[in-house]
Structure 1
Amino acid sequence: MTTHKPRQPAPLNALRAFEAVARGLSFQAAAAQLFVTPAALSHQVKRLEEYLGTRLFQRGHRSIALTEEGAALAASLGELFGQLDLVLDRATAPRVASLRVSTIESFAAKWLAPRLHRFHRECPELRLRIETGNAHADFARDGIDVAIRYGPGGYSGAERLMAAPVFPVCAPALLADAARPLAAPRDLSRHMLLHDESATGRPGVPDWPAWLAAARVGSVEAGPGPVFASIYLAQEAAVAGHGVALGLAPLVEEDLQRGRLVRPFELALDNAYAFWILRRDGRSGPRDAAIETFCRWLRSEAAASPSSTPAA
């Protein structure tokens, strides 16, 4: 009878270290975030590579890049750490303050969720309940503390969080398809264009006809292709390789960093819509302090985002 040697417990500190380095492809930046030295992070990553028996980074003279195995692992860890944070939230619920946060599905899935493990690490005393929706936030009726909305502004007491420039995105496999190259915007005629309803009938929100006009492409038909009810669904269809979508910079940032999406063209259009923070009317006390703590964290994350532009 063959016996198998049990796998040693996963080195969680090393996984945290790897995830931080992989997110920004920088030992220096990750070390500053985790309050350790780059040498300590390097040691943790080497320990993880030894544990897995594979290399996770290609190390150059002044840069690093993820290996195929490293990219696959990095793509999963953000979600796994987010799930772990939810478990910890449930375990500590009787002892922590709770905030209800409402936002649209695409922002929750593509921008907020991958960052929540950092909020939990920085503010373990606060528990967040994330709800999705795009209706007008009625703080008194719905019990919402903070709402994040995508729109033109004009909301009472709103604070602009991030701009949302628009540009084409697709799966790497489409860009590598020699039979249907994507070397110039006119090559989009060989590919399915994915649409979402967020740009339909909204002045100043770029859609495919607007982008093609800006790219000076008159021979591409923008009509064919499915229309999705949300930005999130259109983006997921692009990740799956079903066509080329127009991505909002903050919402495609994570997929671009992880290599699930690529930008075939650099042309980006300004967007009349942006992401906004709305909050419950300020009152002195612990809840208002908790709301300000969360809003301050949102501002910090937005400012550090590669797709961030200064708020106007």
Structure 2
Amino acid sequence: MSDPLSGLPLSSIRVFEAAARLNSFTRAAEELGMTQAAVSWQIKALETKLGISLFRRLPREVRPTEPGERLSRAATEAMTLLRRAFAEVTETDQGVLTITTLTTLATQWLAPRLGAFQLANPGLAVRLDTSPHIVDLARSNVDVALRSGSGDWPGTEAALLMPSVFVPLCSPALCATLKLTTPADLLDAPRVGDEKEWAAWFASAGVSTPTTPATQLRADIQGLEVAAALGGQGVALGSPILFAREIAAGLLTRPFAHTVTLSNGYWIAWPEDRRRSPKIARFRDWLLAEAAADPAIAAG
């Protein structure tokens, strides 16, 4: 059987992949550093070679035909694999480890430990990205992600770091003022955070909340909500793992030990096709060992 790729130059496939991904010959030309005419010529030559039309030419854009769409998905996957393979072989990116992570997880748990990793890996610089948006590891230059969720993300492998448990936290002074004795007492307390998360905690504690007043403050970042609790502004739901140091130092107190699980946990994730990357493997093994040695995680 003849090879269907015989006679097809890689440059034409690269041009086709960019044009299909961007739905534009012009934008593909800009990305590849070519002229629009050169892109159009490469696509036309590829269509002639294959004997099929790969694009529908529209007034302001191009759209892959049905066979073009099938080839586009395969071409994008192939080009991604090639880029990563060349990067790993040449080790052009081995000097920097890029991590995308949740802000509170970074500041409360990861950052205090990173110094030990960098001392053990002096030739590897670490760059942290705390963007709230989920980064597509399959199509970015990010090496590792620390995420909250199911651990099941397309194109990635993941390992559980710690459970996602939450508990009421407040300053010792506010706790004494509120005279909290039962979970139901928190119904009338000034609360910080998402009302649905609080409702989940109350339900798990056996407290009915039909007339629960709204919380007084809500932020998109757990660390900001717990910072408000540190300042005596209310009771926040926070992770006893991430805020273990503040609890141990007496800056925060847990009026009730009852916890609620709000997701399937915090995970470390990496692209499945880069599992053998030396820098990813070193960081992954080190981080999982750190999690295994953390007494706060063991306590759950």
Q: TM-score range by the shorter chain?
A: 0.5 to 0.7
Change (3 A) 1:113 1:283: closer
Residue among 290, 295, 299 paired with 1:301: 290
Q: Say whether 1:246 aligns with 2:244.
A: no
> How many correspondences in the alignment?
204
Equivalent residue for 2:259, pick from 263, 268, 284: 268
* Correspondence for 1:43: none
CA deviation after TM superposition for structure 1 residue 100, in Å: 0.5
Paired-residue identity, %? 34
TM-score, reference length from structure 2: 0.61
Residues 273 and 284 from structure 1, CA distance in 2 versus in 1: closer, same or farther, beyond 3 angstroms? closer
CA contact (8 A) 1:193 1:222 kept: no
Q: Deviations over 1:191-237 (max 9, x none)?
A: 211114xx85xxxxxx1112122223337725232221221211111
Q: Is the 8 A contact 1:102 1:147 kept in 2?
A: yes
TM-superposed deviation, 1:173: 1.8
Which one of the candidate residues 114, 117, 122 is aligned to 2:115? 117
- Tell me how far 1:127 sits from its aligned partner: 1.5
Note the aligned Cα RMSD (angstroms): 2.6
On the 8 A contact 1:104/1:133 being kept in 2, the answer is: yes
Matches within 5 A, 1:45-194: 97-139=95-137, 141-156=139-154, 157-177=157-177, 180-194=178-192
Partner SS for 2:128: strand
Aligned to 2:237, the other structure's residue is in SS state: strand
Q: Aligned partners of 1:310 and 1:169: how far apart in 2?
A: 17
Rg larger in 1 or in 2?
A: 2
- CA separation of 1:215 and 1:124: change in aligned 2, threshold 3 A: same
Structure 2: runs of 5 or more not aligned? 1-93
1:158–1:283 distance in 2 versus 1, CA, 3 Å = closer
List gaps (5 residues or longer) in structure 1: 1-95, 201-206
Q: Under a length normalisation based on structure 1, what TM-score does the superposition of the two structures give? A: 0.59
1:216 to 206, 209, 216: 206
Q: Residue 123 of structure 1: CA displacement?
A: 2.7
User: Is 1:227–2:227 an aligned residue pair?
Assistant: no
Matched residues in 1 for 2:98 and 2:140: separation?
A: 9
Measure the CA separation in 2 of the matches of 1:215 and 1:141.
43
